[in-house]
Amino acid sequence: MPDNFQKKTLFVTTGAEAVENAVKIARAATGRSAVIAFSGGFHGRTFMGMALTGKVVPYKIGFGAMAGDVFHVPFPVELHGVSVDQSLAALKKLFAADVDPQRVAAIILEPVQGEGGFYPAPVAFMKALRELCDQHGILLIADEVQTGFARTGRMFAMDHHEVAADLTTMAKSLAGGFPLAAVTGRSEVMDAPGPGGLGGTYGGNPLGIAAAHAVLDVIADEDLCSRANQLGGRLKQRLESLREKVPETADIRGPGFMNAVEFNDRTTGLPSADFANKVRLTALDKGLILLTIQDEVFGEALDILETSMLEASTGK
Ligand SMILES: Cc1ncc(COP(=O)(O)O)c(C=O)c1O
């Protein structure tokens, strides 16, 4: 884990459970209850995970009242008109209008928003959050459930930042798809909950731990951080080469292999889910589903994606 302070880990079964526990640990360690999260963020489908998630459709709609003492601030995405300064100003406004920072246990964010659209948190933003947390005794939680384990070209997405989180949640690639998740944090923070306060029947089950060991060996042996950078580089290069031919292309971004291409409507200039869907359906029709991939298949995938973007854009 980034930074070399003393750490301890709690093993659980799903990403959402890791998030729930990170919040419980932060509450126990600080004696405070409020939590701040960001618009567009995704933290799982359990009650606290859902409350922290900054997206109503499809995650919250129809599920009634959310867990209390959760506040959302706009996530900085320059492309959509929210600068780092504006996001920090919103946070300060929240402290002035809604919640005393001395009541805030944690600020939680994904270092690269996953379900929200692959938006990386700017380095200056993470640094400013760290400073604010230190100033007010708030814990910083990095939700690395989606960004963890080589996907961004580094072992953790927080490795791209100058500062470290106090608590980190992880799951997904940790055990290569086998249900294992974890919260790792500062030892003294992790020790705050009382005996029996954290746990679960399947937490740290031997099969999950064995799978995680195997995954970590493969990541090291096959240098998968480099591979993520290499594949991501190829993907971004191909998408860049299509910018002029596909004028709907609004943005190409993302560290390592956690990449996104964003589309706007050609006439309105506004984000176009319709166009993205058209590309996706055309690609699906041509037999492209994006999962783990061999080099030749990835080459074929890029060709299909290119044709699909061109067909969607030209209507031919
Ligand atoms: C950032 C993030 N947090 C939490 C979760 C929830 O993980 P799980 O689906 O394992 O409960 C996800 C799942 O996609 C995620 O991307």
Please indicate, yes or no, if residue 2 is contained in any of the structural domains.
Answer: no
Probe ligand 1: pick from 156, 172, 183, max atoms within 8 Å of CB?
172
Please indicate, yes or no, if residue 218 is contained in any of the structural domains.
Answer: no
Query: pLDDT, tens digit, for every residue of 51-88?
Result: 999 999 999 999 999 999 999 999 999 999 999 999 99
pLDDT surpasses 60 at 172: yes
In a 10 Å sphere around its CB, with 0-12 CB exposed, 13-18 middle and 19+ buried, how is residue 97 labelled? exposed
Indicate if ligand 1 lies below 6 Å from the C-beta of 168.
no
Decide which of 189, 211, 233 is a domain's last residue: 211
Give the model's pLDDT for residue 294.
78
Please indicate, yes or no, if residue 17 is contained in any of the structural domains.
Answer: yes
205 with 229, same domain: the answer is no
Indicate if ligand 1 lies below 6 Å from the C-beta of 144.
no
Domain hosting 16: range is 7-211
Query: pLDDT, tens digit, for every residue of 106-150?
Result: 999 999 999 999 999 999 999 999 999 999 999 999 999 999 999
200 with 243, same domain: the answer is no
Please indicate, yes or no, if residue 216 is contained in any of the structural domains.
Answer: no
CB atoms within 10 A of CB 29: 22
pLDDT surpasses 80 at 270: yes
List the CATH number of the domain containing 242: 3.90.1150.10
89 with 25, same domain: the answer is yes
129 with 243, same domain: the answer is no
Decide which of 182, 211, 240 is a domain's last residue: 211
184 with 258, same domain: the answer is no
Q: What value does the mean pLDDT of the chain take?
A: 96
181 with 258, same domain: the answer is no
Please indicate, yes or no, if residue 150 is contained in any of the structural domains.
Answer: yes
Cis, bond preceding 74 (omega within 30 deg of 0): no
**pLDDT category, 292, cuts 50, 70, 90?**
low
Task: Give me the percent of the chain exceeding a pLDDT of 90.
Answer: 93
- Number of structural domains (the chain) is 2
143 with 228, same domain: the answer is no
List the CATH number of the domain containing 30: 3.40.640.10
**Residue (of 210, 219, 208) closest to 11 by Cα position:** 208
In a 10 Å sphere around its CB, with 0-12 CB exposed, 13-18 middle and 19+ buried, how is residue 265 labelled? middle
Give the model's pLDDT for residue 291.
57
**pLDDT category, 295, cuts 50, 70, 90?**
confident
CB atoms within 10 A of CB 302: 18
37 with 123, same domain: the answer is yes
Query: Vertex 307, ends 302 and 311: CA angle to 5°?
Result: 150
Please indicate, yes or no, if residue 113 is contained in any of the structural domains.
Answer: yes
| Ligand 1 centroid to residue 194 C-alpha, Å | 26
Residue nearest to atom 7 of ligand 1 (CA): 15
pLDDT surpasses 70 at 290: no
Decide which of 156, 180, 211 is a domain's last residue: 211
What DSSP character marks residue 138?
P
Query: pLDDT, tens digit, for every residue of 92-106?
Result: 999 999 999 999 999
95 with 190, same domain: the answer is yes
pLDDT surpasses 80 at 228: yes
| Ligand 1 centroid to residue 316 C-alpha, Å | 38
Indicate if ligand 1 lies below 6 Å from the C-beta of 40.
no
The CA distance from 307 to 184, in Å, is 43
Give the model's pLDDT for residue 115.
95
Indicate if ligand 1 lies below 6 Å from the C-beta of 53.
no
**pLDDT category, 177, cuts 50, 70, 90?**
confident
Query: Which numbered atom of ligand 1 lies nearest the CA of 144?
Result: 1
**pLDDT category, 1, cuts 50, 70, 90?**
confident
264 with 302, same domain: the answer is yes
Please indicate, yes or no, if residue 285 is contained in any of the structural domains.
Answer: yes
pLDDT surpasses 80 at 152: yes
pLDDT surpasses 60 at 24: yes
| Ligand 1 centroid to residue 125 C-alpha, Å | 22
Give the model's pLDDT for residue 297.
87
